[in-house]
Structure 1
Amino acid sequence: MHLWQRPSESRIDVVVCTYRRPVLLAQLIEAIQAQRLSGLRVRLIVVDNDPDGSARQVVERASAQDAPVALCYVAEPRCNIALARNAGLNACNADFIALIDDDELPAVDWLSNLMAVAMRYAAGLVFAPVLPVFHPDAPRWLTEGGFFDRPRHATGTAVPLLEARTGNVLIRGSLLVASPLRFDPRLGLSGGEDYAFFRALYPSCQRAVWCDEAAVSESVPLARTNPRWLLKRSFRIGSVEASLARRGMTPHSPPMLVLKTIYLAAKLCLDLVRAPLWPRARRLKSWRQGAIAVGLAYGLLFGVYREYK
């Protein structure tokens, strides 16, 4: 069979890695079970990254119900997101593999829309939107400041590698089944494993395109809607970019990132003079650029910063 020919009934394995989020996981399983599955045979693979196995009972309760989507429970007790994702991929044997996070919820046409775009554009990878849903008590100035927004495109638009991510993506199974390509466990505690994975996958996927009709919603905890969390995340982004550059895994060499660090630091110094006159959201955006600069410097000097411990 030709690589891009669709079988009469396509098989999709949906993989979700979860860590101590039983309520959100139960909601996700319910949403997957509610998918419109005309011409699709779907299995949900739940990878439990909790050593205590907190997801097992959630999966067992859902499996006891009469539902159209089969469930598969996989335990990966080692605390490393790359190992958890690899355990999910190793359990797959379908025509297509969909990756979704345990704090995301899809609409009923999520899978069918992803599949339609994969067929229409003969794509090896299909990415789709992740839309934040905030806690009611989250500060409005922060939630409306665009800090959690991701780029969106018209359906069929080619997705650049720098925008590739594991939350809400469809992958041709033929690209991974019986392939040695997996997530790098060395990056599983620092971040950047998703970029490294797609960097290796892009040359063989033929096309990576966008499907704007397959959006999922992402629950943003109240603990993340504050300047401290956003600045810490910006520092991590900078350190990951630098550590990947040191490995030769990004288009930017370490000397180029040194120049970027100097530029961002100089810009922050200028912004500090004007910042008192700015709205809070604009000030925070400037501080985030400064945090990225600090992260870049840390990554260039010391290597990986392990956010997940």
Structure 2
Amino acid sequence: MRSTDRLISICICTYKRPAGLRQALQSLTRMAIPSGCRVETLVVDNETAGSAAVVVDDLHRAHPALALRYMQEPTPGVSHARNRCLNSAAGDFIVFIDDDEFVNSEWLVELLRCMDSTRADAVFGPVVPFFEMPPTAWLVASGVNDRLRFPTGTELPWREARTGNVMLRHTMVEDGHRFSTDFARTGGEDSLFFAMAKQRGHQLVWCDEAVVHESVPVQRMTRSWVLQRAFMGGRTYVRLEARLGHRWPYLYFALRGLASALVSMATIAALYVRGDARHVRHLCRLYGHLGKVAARFYSHGPYAGDL
């Protein structure tokens, strides 16, 4: 190891997902490390019982090159765990993946290549679903697991910026920029983080070659889970707009959401009568609109890690 090597800190926040965490860490053992770089891997456990400790210990003994570090964040909520990562990471670059994801072999190389070529402050890559069992027709038609992809180098709007697969320069957080704890238990903290980063002039770009896969377990392939997620997403979106300074956000989005919900119901009925599985996609939109209507009255919710 040379003193001139650049350090990349790979961060994984985890909460009651030992099997997913093991898969994520094992995929890191097979990844290529960019030339002139070294890595450290931080696992922040947001469960007070520390269920992730044994997983990290096993992988650390078997793969010392990952330079695994384990720590617990006792304050519940994903924002606290992510901020612990930012406060602890020593790298020139900080990378986040989730504890239900696993990476491709060239993933890290592609992220850094794009970072260097675009001089961006943060680089995002695709998150592709990996279903634990073949998805049903309605689940595919719902589009709930589909995420937009862009040509490499595309500058991203904050609404498409997430922590599921991102590399950011350490300079982005040296001024104390952190994840808002107001969204610690509902999600949306990452969207707000990158929205505020854009307001500060930071550049966010896309790298379509830096792929990770997200495991979709059976319990996330039910209609009830999909619709609950859509509802929560709608209400969180309004709270984000409120934080970012939208004028009269709760009234505006409640009225807009109500009007859109009425339109959605007509479309759902027409598709359902024809037996068209795409009615579920519109049903998800309906629940998202209802979440916007209810946003003023549901500022808090279950910890996202419980879903």
Task: Give the one of 97, 101, 105 matched to 1:104.
Answer: 101
Residue 276 (structure 1) shift: 3.0
Find the residue that maps to 2:162 and give its secondary structure: coil
In structure 2, the residue matched to 1:52 is: 49
Task: Give the one of 212, 217, 223 matched to 1:221.
Answer: 217
Q: Is 1:121 the equivalent of 2:139? A: no
Task: Give the one of 40, 43, 57 matched to 1:43.
Answer: 40
Residue 251 (structure 1) shift: 8.1
The aligned runs of 1:66-81 (5 Å cut-off) are 66-81=63-78
TM-score, with structure 2 as normaliser: 0.91
TM-score, with structure 1 as normaliser: 0.91
Report if aligned partners of 2:13, 2:45 keep a CA contact under 8 Å in 1: yes
In structure 2, the residue matched to 1:142 is: 139
Which amino acid in 1 is paired with 2:62?
Q
In structure 1, the residue matched to 2:159 is: 162
Task: Give the one of 1, 6, 10 matched to 1:14.
Answer: 10
In structure 1, the residue matched to 2:299 is: 304
Q: Structure 1's 249 and 84: CA in aligned 2 closer, same or farther, altered over 3 A?
A: farther
Unaligned runs of 5+ in 1: 1-6
CA RMSD, Structure 1 to Structure 2 (Å): 2.0
Report if aligned partners of 2:138, 2:280 keep a CA contact under 8 Å in 1: no
CA-to-partner distance for each residue in 1:147-175, whole Å, 9 max, x for gaps? 20100011111111110101000001111
Report if aligned partners of 2:258, 2:290 keep a CA contact under 8 Å in 1: no
Q: How many residues align?
A: 301
Which amino acid in 1 is paired with 2:299?
V
Q: Name segments (4+ residues, structure 1) moved above 4 Å.
A: 248-252
Q: Structure 1's 110 and 256: CA in aligned 2 closer, same or farther, altered over 3 A?
A: same
Which amino acid in 2 is paired with 1:113?
E
Residue 280 (structure 1) shift: 4.4
Equivalents in 1 of 2:265, 2:133: separation in Å?
35
Equivalents in 2 of 1:284, 1:192: separation in Å?
24
Equivalents in 1 of 2:302, 2:278: separation in Å?
26
In structure 2, the residue matched to 1:203 is: 199
Report if aligned partners of 1:239, 1:305 keep a CA contact under 8 Å in 2: no
Find the residue that maps to 2:112 and give its secondary structure: helix
Equivalents in 2 of 1:171, 1:35: separation in Å?
19
Task: Give the one of 219, 222, 226 matched to 1:230.
Answer: 226
Report if aligned partners of 1:243, 1:303 keep a CA contact under 8 Å in 2: no
Identity of aligned residues (%): 34
Report if aligned partners of 1:28, 1:102 keep a CA contact under 8 Å in 2: yes
Q: Structure 1's 108 and 272: CA in aligned 2 closer, same or farther, altered over 3 A?
A: closer
Q: Structure 1's 252 and 62: CA in aligned 2 closer, same or farther, altered over 3 A?
A: farther
Report if aligned partners of 2:250, 2:295 keep a CA contact under 8 Å in 1: no
Which amino acid in 1 is paired with 2:167?
L
Residue 103 (structure 1) shift: 0.6
Unaligned runs of 5+ in 2: none
